[in-house]
Structure 1
Amino acid sequence: MSETDETPEAPGRLRRALPHSRRGRLLLISALVLAVAGTGLGTWAADTWPWPKDRYCWGAWEEDSGPGFLGDEAFGDHDDDGSRTDRETAPTRERPTGSCEVAIDSDYKSRYDGDEVSVDQRVSVEYGPAPKAAEARLSMVQDRFLGGDMVPLPDGLPGTVNGRGGLLVLPKSCDTDDGRPTVVTLEATGRYSSGPSYTRNDPPDLGGTREAAVLLVAAANRGMAATGCAPDEPLRISSPVYDLPGNSEFVFSASDDVCGVRGLRLGTEDVEEQIGAVTRDLQTCSVRGDRDDVPYLDLAMVAQPRLAAVFNGIVGERPVARGWRGTGVIGEKHALVRADCAGRPVTVLMGVSADPDHLAAFANAAAARLGCAPIAPKGAAR
């Protein structure tokens, strides 16, 4: 979404290269105090300690402000062996795209078995318009931010969030000249390695789903202010976050329905389903292999206007097939259809599977739940 550029480092980057653990920082400060006192400037030193806290992501986040990755707890018991660094390209009026990344790195020897341990974690934000190409847009939005473990942002904000990140669609004032919405995304990723062969996913601690939403909105407000498209009042998170209706569940029989949709079957029993949000504006579900986490099916219904606007221009101009309402397309990796439902346009999306029967079963189930006519013709899901 954002382009990589080689702009010079922003002022203050030297300060961010200094130790980020309290112990390391206190040792450094003590040494500097002694040095400053030796020059007769002890009063100046007393008036300026402690140093101001670091800020990240265009100034949106402050060190020690709550989430674990911004505090010393990011390093566990090995704070002297860790570092927190950042790099960023701020969006501007002339170039309304940007990115920022906070990196947590630790390397130490395990006190239990002596193995070399490496922790590599990243919290990344991207700001910019939705991609032009349909497949790139669906890969970014549906594959990353419409899974069964994503929930709607609270307070009517158009987007989704979970404990590892989220997506927010900005107001229309931030749209591009060709009508594409500008979006802000947040993602936490990481890897823990111990010894020569053990590796696991280990994303940094964002503090939970609600805190992830707060981080996302804070970055969005900074980006909008920098590009000149901010609303009169900044966006805020004040309400509780939607709770998932349940945990993931195993599918015990190949003839069992998945995603709570009658007639939606995958013909395999080695899968696990996660039913996500079920609201008037959003419905999601994901099916994965119960042992290897291989994706089998992703489904989503989006009726929230600004979130659905992300798919404007890529829903086609013709029905998916004869007898279907609305317009849509079915590709190798993604399918989507948009149709009027109870006075609102509803977008139904499918990922991984290319089977139109799966799309038909889910689309008609979503339409029935919303109280409107079927989207797929009778018998299409058989």
Structure 2
Amino acid sequence: MEAQVAPQGAGGGDGIRGSWLRRRRGTVVAVTVGALALAGVGGWAAEVGPFAKDRYCWGAWEQDSGPRLLGDEELGRSGSERRAEESAAPSADRPEGTCTLRVTSSVPDSHGSSGGGGTIEFKKTVNVRYGAVPAAEEERLGWLREFLDGSVAPLPDGVPGLVGSSKGMVVLPESCDVDGRPTVVTVTGGETGDGHLGLVRMPVSIGSPGDVARLLLDVADEGMRRTGCAEGAGPLRVTSPVRPAREREIGGVDAKDTCGIRGLGFATGKGDHYEARPGAVADDVQLCTLTNTDNVRNPVFAGQFTMVAQPRLVALFQGLAGDRSPGPGWRGKGRLSGSYNIVQADCGKEPAVFMLVLGSGHLQKVAVPDVDGAFARAVNAVGDRIGCSDVAPRR
């Protein structure tokens, strides 16, 4: 049984507007059972009094509504509590907002310097953002790097979005665009442990990809309802299961087919430590992330290959390709700069975007035969697969 603490910090404006807290306390059971005996069972049906369920993120999420994050199981450790902090809700005048849900708990720390008696505090944080993608190019590229990496899979049933166990994003209809930029909803998670070893970042799972999809779409629907940007359109829903990014062994970076893409090659040497994480491979999306693993505990981003051919996903790249041809033999428009290579070309009735970002100067130097050539080969290999041939010169 959980006890509810009244909303704290209520206020107007753009700041944090509210905070709700759920805690596990066995002492509450006797009080609530006694109240139920006097008042009858009407409280359960009416969802009032001690049995009212918490709602989070402008009412989009309800306690015990399905995803583990919102259920009692998430509060299984002693001293667990769940708290949400929200900005003002998205509105027609201000179509943006943020929400943070935190679950904290503690367990005995038997390895502390005191020989026991201490505790390790765990804190899981889930951040939600509703709003347009960044306008500045560098910020947009950073956003794309985070949400279109090798760990995520496409949402099913034609819904334009990508999800994994620790994050997800969905693109809203064009009628919700702000200044020509798509409005998106993102969900990200993180977890820390604080004990005798100090503050340690830990792997986090918000839930299954299906759970993350539901959390994401519930916020999207609530945001669209409040802003009125998609009147007449139905809610965003998926009925098919989310298929996780293909279960494929993380491979090395090699001279012929990095990421499983024919022609995407890097002549790395014996002392180089790079990994390629191939992600989603579908007709309208293909993703792969490259990392430098010199420090295996703290891998560093080294590069990313992206192909999208779903119209609302393509819109995420609006303005990044420029308005000129990348060079002789290329179709469409784009830019080739070594660290940042992008082309957008028509593929049948819809455009497709191909992008290769190399954050590693070393990979730029050892690309085979060079960065332009490696990108051209990768574009043609993926383009041939999806029926969009001869986007790049054959090299």
Cα deviation 1:45-83 (Å, max 9, x = unaligned): 8754542110111111111223232223324432x2x22
Structure 1 residue 134 corresponds to structure 2 residue 137: yes
Distance 1:334 1:118, change over 3 A: farther
Q: Which residue of 2 aligns with 1:240?
A: 241
**Distance in 2 separating the partners of 1:206 and 1:186:** 9
Kept after mapping to 2: 8 A contact 1:276/1:284 = yes
Q: Deviations over 1:277-312 (max 9, x none)?
A: 211111111222353422222111000011111112
Structure 1, unpaired ranges of 5+: none
Partner AA of 1:143 in structure 2: R
Q: Supply the distance in 1 between the matched residues of 2:92 and 2:14 (Cα, whole angstroms).
A: 18
TM-score computed with the length of structure 1 as normaliser: 0.84
CA–CA separation in structure 2 for the residues paired with 1:244 and 1:129 = 26
1:311 partnered with 2:317: yes
| Corresponding position of 1:110 | 109
Distance, in Å, in 1 between the alignment partners of 2:276 and 2:207 is 25
Letter in 1 for 2:83: T
CA–CA separation in structure 2 for the residues paired with 1:123 and 1:334: 31
Cα RMSD, aligned residues only: 2.6
Question: What corresponds to 1:164 in structure 2?
Answer: 166
**For the Cα contact (< 8 Å) 2:340–2:355, is it kept in 1?**
yes
Q: Structure 1 43/295 Cα, relative in aligned 2: closer, same or farther at 3 Å?
A: same
- State the match for 1:84 in structure 2: 82
Q: Does 1:321 align with 2:327?
A: yes
Structure 1 residue 124: deviation in Å?
1.1
- Deviation string 1:183-237 (CA, Å, 9 cap, x unpaired) is 111111122233135724232x433011111111111000000000234321111
Amino acid at match of 2:155: L
Instruction: Say whether the 8 Å CA contact 1:258–1:273 is kept in structure 2.
Output: yes
Residue 291 of structure 2: SS of its match in structure 1?
strand
Structure 2 match to 1:344: 350
Once residues 30 and 335 of structure 1 are traced to their aligned partners in structure 2, the CA distance between those partners, rounded to angstroms, is 64
Partner of 1:280: 283
Q: 1:370 aligns with which of 373, 376, 386?
A: 386
Higher relative contact order (CA 8 A, sep 6+): 1
Please, which of 110, 115, 125 is the counterpart of residue 128 of structure 2?
Answer: 125
CA, structure 1 residues 263+202, in 2 after alignment: closer, same or farther (shift >3 Å)? Answer: closer
Number of the residue aligned with 1:219:
219
Cα pair distance change 1:259/1:46, threshold 3 Å: closer
Query: Separation in 2 of the partners of 1:250 and 1:201?
Result: 23
Aligned to 2:373: 357
Corresponding pairs, count: 356
Deviates more, 1:284-293 or 1:303-312: 284-293
Tell me the CA shift for residue 331 of structure 1.
Answer: 5.1
SS of 1:20's equivalent?
A: strand
**Residue of 145, 150, 153 corresponding to 2:152:** 150
% identical equivalent positions: 36
* Separation of aligned partners in 1, 2:394 and 2:376: 9
Structure 1 residue runs of 4 or more that deviate by more than 6 Å after TM superposition: none
Q: TM-score normalised to the size of structure 2?
A: 0.81
Give the gaps of 5 or more residues in structure 2.
Answer: 1-12, 44-48, 365-370
3-state SS of the aligned residue for 2:94? coil
Conserved 8 A contact 2:251-2:277: no
Letter in 2 for 1:117: I
- Asked whether the equivalents of residues 248 and 273 of structure 1 are also in contact (C-alpha less than 8 Å), the reply is no
Q: Which residue of 1 aligns with 2:15?
A: 7
Q: 1:166, CA displacement in angstroms?
A: 0.9
* 2:165 counterpart letter in structure 1: G
**What residue number does 2:308 align with?**
302
> Aligned pair in 2 of structure 1 residues 332, 51: CA closer, same or farther (>3 Å)?
farther
SS at match of 1:86: strand
Note if contact 2:77-2:106 (Cα within 8 Å) is conserved in structure 1. no
Counterpart for residue 55 of structure 2: 55
Cα 1:266/1:76, change in 2 over 3 Å: farther
For the 8 Å contact 1:20–1:72, the answer to whether it is kept is no
User: Does the aligned pair in 2 maintain the 1:101–1:122 contact within 8 Å?
Assistant: yes
